[in-house]
Each structure stands twice: as C-alpha cells, then as structure tokens.
Amino acid sequence: MSQNQKTWFITGASKGIGLALVRTLLESGANVVATSRTLASLVNLIGPASDTFLPVEVDLVDERSVRAGIAQAISRFGRIDVVVNNAGYGLQGTIEGISDEELRRNFDVNMFAPAHVLRHALPHMRQQRSGHVFNVGSIAGFQGGYAGWGIYAATKFALAGLTEALAAEVAEFGIKVTLVYPGPVRTEFLSSGSLVVAQRNLPEYTAAQALLDVHLDEMAGKQAGDPAKLASMIIQAADTSKPPLHLFAGKIANDLALQKLAAVKKDLTTWREISDATDYPD
C-alpha cells in the first residue's frame, strides 16, 4: 500500500516534527488524523477537516479521550495504517530537585500517553494483520549521560524498552515497529512554552546548570536537525518492506549512538571475566 492510500494517526501534530509530518503527508494525498490538546491549534496551522484530514482534540494522558480519538479515526477512514507517537516535552532539573509531581507528569505525557494510544490502536491493526508504529524517542533515551535531564531521559529509555518489546509481540500480526531517535531538531522543544524547568533549583549542581545554559543560550533555534527532512525519513521508513527497529536521525544522534556503543563495549570487555564468574559453575 502506497503512502497516499494509508491512514496515519499522529500525536503532537500542532508543532515540530508532528506538524512537518502532517503537512508532508497531506501534500502526498495520504489520509491524516492529527491530534493536539486543542482543536483550534490544528485548524489554525493546518486547516479544517477535509476528505483526507481529520483534526482531533485529544488529551493523551486521559485514556478515555484517547479511546474516543481512535474511534473518530476509525469512523472517518475505516482503518489506521500508521501510528506516530510524537507528542512529548522536555523536563530539565536534577534528580534531587525534581518534585514527584513533575516526574510523574513527564512520564504521563512521554511514556503512558503512547501506551494509551497503542492500547486502543493495536486491536484495529491486529485485525487488519498490518500496520506500522513509530514511537518518537530521543537520543537522550539511548545515550543518557546529560546532567539535569535524567527524568526526561528516563521517559525515553522507558519508551525504548516498550518499543522493542512491542516489536517482538506484534510481528506475528504483520505489524512493524520503529523507534525514532532524533538528535537536536530545530523545533520549539527548547522554547519557554515547551521546555519545563523544575521549580526547585539546586545551585550546587553546576554541571546541570551549565548544560541548561548551553541549551537555552547557544542551541535553542540553532539545532542541526531539520524537522521536514526528519518527517520525510519517517515516511520513507514507512514505505519500505523491511523498516529499521532503531532509526537514528541526524549526524549528532548517529555520532552519540556510536560513542555509547563503544563505551558499553569497553565496559563489557574490561569486566567480562569477573562478570562471567558470577554464574553458578556448570
């Protein structure tokens, strides 16, 4: 099935990667269901509902709202071929400083919301015996050594684990799964309206503060990644017969992933003999 015959369900569609993906798909003639917290934001940026476009207001942390959004998609187009769990936000703050409420909210949006979408979209894909799920993670969910970004990284590591297990679960139904690891992308991610900074500031953590300053003062608005090109890569992956499970996006993401793999290999090699000795003897 070509892209202009598929129905896509995309969360976080009013900005960044999600918005670029919706616009590119609509230009190609695909059916697109786009979700956001407010219907007005979608209509203002993309336009009203049409033969190929359905904007839907969904609160992703409310499972009842997600269920209703999936139902609207099925009612309108009869099927869902591609799910893109793109919605999420950054949380900056030290592990010691972040409150329980801030921690749980980040997991609600970045981890539990995608699980809500999958829980209600997968039955339709399983019945179709086809489909493709894209979960948009982050290079911070693979190479997580960023002071002050521990909780955000934890949400993306959790999403990575869910995605890998999902791929093993749904392969027998003809459903494909891809985890996208973007590096820094030139979106609103580092803007004041998208990035949440923990209320409790602990100045003793100078490494965390220094990294935040770099992100806000030097990187914001200058990120290397192009959201339109990333969107095109996702579409290309959806159109191939053997898509990757792990899809890194951008030179920075690729370089950091290789550095992480090298570091893990070094630790494995250094400690292999000692580690192997912790097993019971044969």
Residues assigned a catalytic role: 152
The answer to whether 118 and 126 have CB atoms below 8 angstroms apart is: no
Q: 55: helix, coil or strand?
A: strand
E-assigned strand segments in 110-229: 131-136, 175-182, 196-197
In the chain, the amino acid numbered 278 is T
| Residue 211 tokens, joined | 């990294």
Alpha-carbon distance of 102 to 271, in angstroms, equals: 37
Of 129, 118, 126, 108, whose CA–CA distance to 162 is shortest?
Answer: 118
Query: Count of alpha carbons within 13 Å of 180, Cβ hemisphere only?
Result: 28
CA distance 192 to 17: 18
